[in-house]
Amino acid sequence: MKATRNFLSSILILSLFLSCQNNSNTVTLIIDDSAVRAVLKNPELALVKRDSIWQTHEGYRQMLAWHTRQSVPRDFGFYEFALNDMLSDNPIFTKDKNYLETINRVQEIHRDKGGIINEHLSSYLPGNKTFTAYAYFIAFVSSYAFSLEDKLVIDIGSPRWQNNPGFILNTVIHEIYHIGYELYTPDKWGFTPKTKDEFLQKTLAVIQNEGMATYIAYKALEKIPSDYKDPDYKLLENQESVDKAFKQTNQLIQDAETANIDSLNEKAWVIGTLKDRAFYVTGSFIAKTIEENHSKEFLVDLVKKGGRQYVNEYNKIANDKRQIEL
């Protein structure tokens, strides 16, 4: 009896030890494709019932909320154009694009590899929280993908995806990482900086947040390959574009000393995110360098310490050309 109790306590201690040793975040991804199926299966009805579809399916409802949040007027142009194209005798834009087949493949890969995706994401997050992410698939809207809190919206009809299920799922991994990251980071970034110090704080937070999400999705290709890669990965693999991204990021930080804050915010948006992707490239290069020079555990622990510490630790091991000059 005593021996059994001792044996059981050893098991208990061992499992507690293992759960302390391992990052065991539990990520549940729910893919809701009801909206895209409703629209693609009956384009004619989807045109007639446009308003009711946009108001009843959660993905389209999120899209309407996105328009309000971004102060971008509602635009049904792409929706109507693509559905009319599908219905025409001689389709151009939608010709040979089997969107339903693509969504089926996404679901299939998720069914087969969901466990691997969870394990991969979990291993790059500190702690052991449980969270659920919802991916809503819709078609023919103004933004190819966006996320808010625990919801992601993906436009399956966007030309960006090249109809490639692996690429779509890889983007979903990037977006889910953001959801997990937000549970642990001390940083804030969803605000418009009003001062030089706020600008710097936000920039370092974005570099860590986008850099980690990009790197973790990049690494996911080792486990869930895709024959079409995100253009950001090509920038990360190219030495010249990495040098350029560091130069651009340092220029923005230097400009913060003198530039007008509104024009600086605008410039940082275009160079860092929208066009040149400088924050994504520097941020993911930093993640890669830290993991290779320290360890995965060291990189993951920095999520709890925030963007400034992330960059400080990187600067200690970076070569002169690729320092972030603070």
* Minimum distance, C-beta of residue 280 to Zn ion, in the bound complex (Å): 8
The pair of three-digit structure tokens given for residue 93, joined into one six-digit string: 């834009």
Q: What pairs with residue 153 in β-bridges?
A: 136, 146
Shortest gap between Cβ of 210 and Zn ion (angstroms)? Answer: 5
Q: Which is nearer to Zn ion, 43 or 283 (CB)?
A: 283
Q: Which is nearer to Zn ion, 135 or 213 (CB)?
A: 213
CB of 213 to Zn ion, least distance (A): 5
Residue whose CB is nearest to Zn ion in the complex, by number: 213
Q: Which is nearer to Zn ion, 110 or 174 (CB)?
A: 174
Rounded CA separation 163/152 (Å):
18
Give min distance, CB of 124 to Zn ion, in A: 14
Q: How far is the CB of 152 from Zn ion (least distance, A)?
A: 11
Min dist. Cβ of residue 170 to Zn ion (A):
12
Local structure of 324: helix, strand or coil: coil
At its nearest, how many Å lie between Zn ion and the CB of residue 239?
A: 23
Q: Six-digit token pair at 133?
A: 């992410």
Cβ proximity to Zn ion, 86 vs 287, nearer residue? 287
The total of other beta-carbon atoms located within 10 Å of residue 11's CB is 10
Residues 6+ apart with CB under 8 A from 4: none
DSSP string for residues in 69-105: HTT-----HHHHHHHHHHHSSS-STTTT--HHHHHHH
Decide whether 181 or 199 has the Cβ nearer to Zn ion.
181
Backbone φ and ψ for 217, nearest 5 degrees, come out as: -70, -35
**177, 182, 184, 185 alpha-carbon torsion, rounded to 10°:** 110
If the CB atoms of residues 39 and 245 are measured against Zn ion, the closer one turns out to be: 245
> How distant, in Å, are the alpha carbons of 13, 266, 304 from that of 262?
56, 6, 30
By CB neighbour count within 10 A (0-12 exposed, 13-18 middle, 19+ buried), where does 308 fall? middle
Q: For the chain, give the number of residues.
A: 326
Cβ at position 82, least distance to Zn ion in Å: 26
Nearest CB to Zn ion, comparing residues 210 and 230: 210
- CB nearer to Zn ion: pick between 59 and 272: 272
* Closest by CA position to 253, among listed 314, 325, 186: 325
Interface ranges with Zn ion (CB under 5 A): 210, 213
SS3 assignment, position 257: coil
